[in-house]
Amino acid sequence: MGGECGVLVFAEQEDGRIHNVVYELLGKGRDLANKLGKSLCAVLLGHNLDEEAKELIYYGADIVYLFDHPSLKEFDVIKYKHNIVKLVNSVKPDIILVGATRIGRSLAPRVAAALRTGLTADCVDLDLDEEGNLIQIRPAFSGNIMAQIKTRTKPQMATVRYKMMRPLARDPSRKGEIVKVDAEIPEDTGIEILGKVDAGGINISEAEIIVAAGRGLKRPEDLRLLEELASLLGGVVGSSRPLVDAGWISREHQVGFSGNTVKPKVYFAFGISGSPQHLFGMRDSDIIIAVNKDPSAPIIGVSDYYVIGDLYEIIPTLIHDLKKVRSALTHDEE
Amino acid sequence: MNIIVLIKQVPEIEKVRFDYEKGRLDRSSAGAVTNPFDLNALEAAVQIRERVGGVVTAISMGPMQAIESLRDALARGADRAILLSDERFAGADTLATAYTLAAAIKRLGKFDLVICGEKTVDGDTAQVGPEVAEFLGIPHAAYVEEILDVEKGWIIVRARMERSYYLMRLRLPALITVTKDINNPRLPSLKDKLRAMRMPIPVWNYTDLSEIADPKYFGLNGSPTRVIKVYTPISEKRKGQMISGSPKEVSQRILQILRENKILA
Amino acid sequence: MMKNSGIPSSLIVENLKGVVGDKWVITEREFMENYLKDETPDPIRPKPAEDLILVKPSSTEEVSRILKIANENRIPVFPVGGRTGLVGGAVPTEPGIILSLERMSRIEVDEENLMAVAEAGATLGDLIKAAESAGLFFPPHPGDEGAQIGGLIATNAGGARAIKYGVMRNYVRGLEIVLPTGEILSLGGKLLKNNTGYDLMQLIIGSEGTLCVITKAVIRLFPKSKYMVTLIVPFNERSDALRTVPQILRSGIIPLAIEYVQLREILEAAGHINENWPVQKGLAQLIIILEGSSQEEILSACEGISKVCEANNAIDILLAETPEEQNRILKIRSNIYTALKPRMMDILDVTVPPSSLEKLMEQVDMIASKYGIYLPTYGHAGDGNLHVHIMRKDVESIDMAKKIKEEIYGAALKLGGVITGEHGIGKLRTENISLVLSEKHIDIMRSIKRIFDPNNILNPNKVLP
């Protein structure tokens, strides 16, 4: 592979760590570039990122354009946009993919407007038509419907939701080219980053076990049951939107279209009926176990295992049994 | 300080139903409301004006009925409102929308700060704000959760990015998009509502904006993206094995599943 | 278990399993915890009995067979709904059967007749949703949306929106019931007028599960009003706020609801659910909900209300128009009880003629200052219905709480009121019912109970002293 740049992936990093969505974009980008018969490129901006640039190759990039400059260390939308636009004008990719993260959603529109090209937000899938044009698939109206969108201008730009695409397996024997590009730093962007602090909180997107509750929960204090179960399983508590809207639990626990997309090994849905907007956020979990009183609840249809029953009967029993398992284990160790 | 707030009228999203048999949206039971995030933007603007003085102008693009959202904005503290309405603005994607809004802001003349909501609940793209900033050639900060200080010439904000809060100083004029966490929009007083009902709201059309912008970038014609198909997602059905029995039996079966999948030792 | 019956309990359990299936008869205590209590504050909630069987039938036929078994074996039966009651009415206080109709939750909306046919286990939330998706509207909001239709009817629930549309009784047009002896009766129907004989349906409404088990109801719906707003009107003085209420009603405007709240409690409720109350000024506030067919109509009604409020020294009048803002206001208001509950000893729901509300509140103040305590208070001001809370920290004993309660009851009665306008008698107020009803009245009630339930198996020792 080589020659013309077919797909350019924005390799978002924060504190020198590449966001996982980038590897997913490279996975999909690889596929699109192969179909176009062109190369897959990535653009990485920051400082001291030689190792990270190699990682991008291990995950599928043919060429990594590396802008290394101390003043690119932190995300400054104007500096990033300026250099990306310059690169795009020289390598002329057919397609630009950006993670639909907050950084990506702040940067991509500025790049698109500067290039006077179309941008489709929050795609969940991408494909090519016969002419090699990008078909962008995104949810609309809270995930109730899907829309296919095409862009008449080049490059065709899309932001892509996290946890929607599959990364390639890391392959350190993969070969690619790292092109160091001199960064142009505009003198005064009008933006001065005075400081940066860790926002803390949980990261439900990365959790392997999620114990989620919905409207079936009667009182906010009953979330303690979920927390206890989650902690016994080494998991995180998730929630459908009604509980978040009711102020019972903070927004970072929300799974669904307007919250987080998750893909844990096991997703427990306790008293969640399964609105399209919730299913959108968790339907790719490896195993879904639903507990619901209503046999007609949509969640049942997407679950691997389901229980028609009361979460108030099931959870305490599970907690009881898990504690027994735990104490048996520690006993064995003694 | 001249502050501009961008406002969109949207359908009441919770009441938009999807007709799975006919494969289309049913908006008949959904009323029209102001995009909830835009109320936070407006509240932020009014709070700044209360602190440093100035004028808050609400701008919306949409059909004539969007004037209701501008009346709402006037009732909640905007000093004036302008509606951009023309058939030739219709069908705009985010790029054309941002271009048209930016044209209107330029036509207004001097401004210091543009405030938008983080996103709209119908389009859900969060793109229009940053695109407007680019068209105006001004710095922006997205996902602003707090305005720490504002003075002549600059504003200091706290914005939430992926894992971090960024403390940023933006040179004015600038644009910010705000999240719901930034404030609690006030309720308008009945008196202000009744006053807003009587205030004139100018409507700018295609001709008004063609004076300062290239009309080929307006509306559907100026939109590079096209929706080519809309469909219902086929939710992949899973095997759906029922676990029945007493809570005790159910619990034991779940533990067994966890063991089979190496979640539990 | 079932010491009175002499029948081996295992046989009863087997019989019940034969009716509803093994899965739906629960005998393990740990799995019925939620069915042993209602929302009554902990210190005064009646204790549940020890030997209990929880049964969850799926049809009227099954309910009938369960009641026949119970009646033949003289086993008490406690019908429960969403268990959101506040006077212990649904607590199984004697060994017996807890009968939960939660599996019977179907709702059909008849759009032509503007009625819904709902099974007793459907929740208020289900009914609101079903009406809405048919483009219709269930106007009252009798409390917690987890409450079930059967319970709402059995307790004749009221709630905030009763001024314009009345209480649950005004919506029930037909009932399907099962008598304690197992017979199934159908009362009323999809009818707006019906004068055929004694109206047993109205007798059943509010009978608190002592006469029969309600299995299905025909409920009246209304076309959805096109436009709704919520006003919040803060006042510095309570008397100003309360004086405003009858004046608004006399002006010819009938709001859906007029609620009286005090800043202290409403801020606490907002904090409890992580919300912000939009009005921080004015110690006494009215929440007024108006609905109509157009914005013009409603804004002009608002202007009328604003004149009355201003004449009574309102500090401001704030307007919530978006559904989101209106829902938030209603939600915060509905959470005053949940916010106070953990620290509460008792909640009263005394009701007086609407114009006497201010006098009642003065009396409540005097009682509070006599005991040197604070009594959090709010109410459905348009209905003369006041909620007074007795807090745990203020009372040394349940006896002291009782004394305070009885003094408040006395004040309400003197003003021509009653001890309960909403919550009913249940278990807790049986000792007070004779304050309101004459000996003869109670005798007639006893006779009625005997006719319906000759063996006294249905929710025994509730309502009647």
Write the CA distances from B45 to B40, B48, C283, C359, integer angstroms. 9, 5, 29, 46
Q: A246 and C273: CB-CB below 8 Å?
A: yes
Q: Which residues contact B89 (CB under 8 A, 6 or more apart)?
A: B61, B100, B206, B218, B219
Looking at the 3D structure of chain C, how many domains does it have?
A: 4
The residues of chain A that CATH labels 3.40.50.1220 are 204-333
In this structure, the answer to whether residues C148 and C219 fall within a common structural domain is yes
Spell out which residues of chain C touch residue A247, defining contact as CB-CB under 8 Å.
273-275
Distance (Å, rounded) from C-alpha B167 to C-alpha B144? 10
For residue B18, the model assigns a pLDDT of 67
Residue with tokens 């000093």, as numbered in its chain: B79
Structural tokens at position A317: 């029993």
Distances (CA, A) of B2 to B53, B57, B72, B118: 9, 8, 20, 20
pLDDT reported for residue B21: 60
Which CATH number characterizes residue C184's domain?
3.30.465.10
Average pLDDT for consecutive 10-residue bins of chain C (465 residues)? 54 94 86 86 93 94 97 96 93 95 94 96 92 90 86 92 90 97 96 93 97 98 90 95 93 92 94 86 95 91 95 96 89 88 92 93 94 93 93 88 95 97 95 95 97 97 94
Residue of C455 and A273 predicted with greater confidence: C455
Any bridge partners for residue C102, and if so which? none
What confidence tens digit (pLDDT) does each residue in A201-259 have?
777 888 889 999 998 898 888 999 999 999 989 899 999 988 887 778 888 899 987 77
Q: Which of C198, C223, C248 is the last residue of a domain?
A: C223
In this structure, the answer to whether residues C114 and C206 fall within a common structural domain is yes
pLDDT in tens, B59-99: 999 999 999 999 999 999 999 999 999 999 999 999 999 99
- pLDDT at residue B25 above 80? no
Cβ pair C319:B197 closer than 8 A = no
Count how many Cα atoms sit within 13 Å of the Cα of residue B175 in the half-sphere of its side chain. Answer: 30
C318/B190 CB distance under 8 A: yes
Under the banding of pLDDT at 50, 70 and 90, the label for residue B31 is confident
The per-residue pLDDT for C6 is 42
- Residue B209 belongs to what domain range? 2-222
Q: How far is CA A175 from CA A1, A24, A55, A73, C101, in A?
A: 10, 19, 11, 26, 67
| pLDDT-derived band at B103, boundaries 50, 70, 90 | very high
- Whole-number pLDDT of residue C7: 52
Could you report the per-residue pLDDT of B169-197, keeping only the tens digit for each? 999 999 999 998 899 999 999 999 999 99
Tell whether A246 is within 8 A of chain C (Cβ).
yes
Contact B167 A197 (CB under 8 A): yes
* Residue B3, C-beta contacts closer than 8 angstroms, at least 6 positions apart: B45, B48, B49, B54, B55, B56, B57, B111, B112, B113, B114, B115
Return the CATH superfamily for domain A204-333: TPP-binding domain (3.40.50.1220)
Contact of A177 with chain C, judged by CB distance below 8 Å, is answered with: no
pLDDT tens digits, one per residue of B224-251: 999 998 887 766 667 788 998 888 889 9
Number of domains in chain B: 1
Look up the pTM and report it.
0.84
User: Residue A247: which of C31, C33, C273 has the nearest Cβ?
Assistant: C273
Which chain B residues have a beta carbon less than 8 Å from that of C321? 72, 193
From C30, C146, C275, residue closest to A316, measured CB to CB: C30
Mean pLDDT of A92-117: 97
Whether C319 and B33 lie within 8 Å, measured CB to CB: no
The residue ranking higher by pLDDT, C341 or A3, is: C341
Q: Are C231 and C305 in contact (CB under 8 A)?
A: yes
Domain with C26 in it: what CATH number? 3.30.43.10
- Indicate the residue of A190, A196, A280 with minimum beta-carbon distance to B139: A190
Task: Classify residue C83 as exposed, middle or buried by CB count within 10 Å of its CB (0-12, 13-18, 19+).
Answer: buried
Q: Is residue C189 part of a domain?
A: yes
**Is B208 part of a structural domain of the chain?**
yes
Considering the domain architecture, whether residues C186 and C79 belong to the same structural domain is answered as no
Give the DSSP letter of residue B199: S
C250 and C167 in a common domain = no
Using one digit for the tens of pLDDT, what is the confidence trace for A155-208?
999 999 998 899 999 999 999 999 999 999 998 999 999 999 887 777 788 888
Q: Tokens representing A176?
A: 């690619």
Cross-chain residue pair B193–C299, CB shorter than 8 Å: yes
Place of tokens 């995104």: A138
Residue of chain C nearest A310, judged by CA positions: C31
How far is the first Cα of chain A from the last one, in angstroms, to the nearest whole number?
58
Domain boundary among C316, C334, C352: C334
Instruction: Name the residue facing C274 among A247, A310, A312 (closest C-beta).
Output: A247
Residue ending a domain, choose from C52, C75, C102: C102
List the CATH number of the domain containing B140.
Answer: 3.40.50.620
Is C102 near chain A, with CB under 8 Å? yes
The per-residue pLDDT for C409 is 97
| Neighbour subunits, B (≥3 Cβ pairs < 8 A) | A, C
C98 belongs to a structural domain: yes
Class of domain A5-181: alpha beta
C434: distance to nearest CA of chain B, Å? 45
Residue B210 lies in a domain: yes
Taking the CA of residue C377 and the nearest CA in chain A, the distance in Å comes to 23
Question: Is the distance from CB of B111 to CB of B137 less than 8 angstroms?
Answer: no
pLDDT at C130: 93
What are the chain A neighbours of C33 within 8 Å (beta carbons)?
Answer: 312
Does B198 lie at the interface with A, CB-CB under 8 angstroms?
Answer: no
CA distance A201 to C227: 41
In a domain, B233, yes or no: no
Mutation target for C interface from A313, A318, A320: give the one with most C CBs within 10 A.
Answer: A313
CB contact, 8 Å: A293 with chain C?
A: yes
**CB-based contact (8 Å) between A14 and chain C?**
no
Domain limits, CATH 3.40.50.620, in chain A? 5-181
Give pLDDT, residue A334: 42
**Residue carrying structure tokens 């599959």:** A166
What share of chain B in percent tops pLDDT 90?
Answer: 75
Q: Which two tokens stand for residue A185?
A: 């730093």
Q: How many CB atoms lie within 10 A of CB C34?
A: 14
How far apart CA C256 and CA C250 sit, in angstroms, is: 15
What is the tally of helices (H) and strands (E) in chain B?
7, 15
Chain C hits for B188, Cβ within 8 Å: 318-319
**Alpha-carbon dihedral angle through residues C242, C248, C251, C254, given to the nearest 10 degrees:** -140
Residue C455 is assigned to a structural domain of this protein? no
Residue B129 to chain A, least CA–CA distance (Å): 8
Q: Is C29 on the interface with A (CB under 8 A)?
A: no
Set of chain B residues whose Cβ sits within 8 Å of the Cβ of A13:
none
Domain span at C199:
107-223
pLDDT at A1: 44
pLDDT tens across C239-276, in order? 999 999 999 999 888 999 999 999 999 999 988 877 88
Residue B248 lies inside a defined structural domain of this protein: no
Contacts of A317 in chain B (CB under 8 A): 247-248, 250-251
Looking at beta carbons, which residues of chain C come within 8 Å of A252?
none
Residue B58: name the closest of B94, B129, B5 by CA: B5
Query: Residue for token digits 């219905």?
Result: C385
Asked, for residue B129, whether it belongs to a domain, the answer is yes
Where do we find the tokens 């206890």? Answer: A228
Q: Which tokens in the block code for residue A251?
A: 């927004």
Interchain CB distance below 8 Å, A312 and C33: yes
- For B:26-55, CB contacts with A below 8 A are none
- Give the per-residue pLDDT at A333: 47
Q: Are residues C132 and C219 in the same domain?
A: yes
Give domain status of residue B71, yes or no.
yes
* Nearest CB partner across the interface for C232, out of B31, B187, B193: B187
**Residue contact A303–B238, C-beta within 8 A:** yes
Q: Which residue in chain B has the smallest CA separation from C320? A: B187
C320: left (phi over 0), alpha (psi -120 to 50) or beta: beta
Q: In A, which residues are within 8 Å of B139 by CB distance?
A: 77-78, 189-191
Chain B contact probe: residue of A13, A119, A148 with most B CBs at under 10 A: A119
Q: Return d(Cα C388, Cα C398) in angstroms, integer.
A: 16
- A246, A247, A312: residue with CB nearest C34: A312
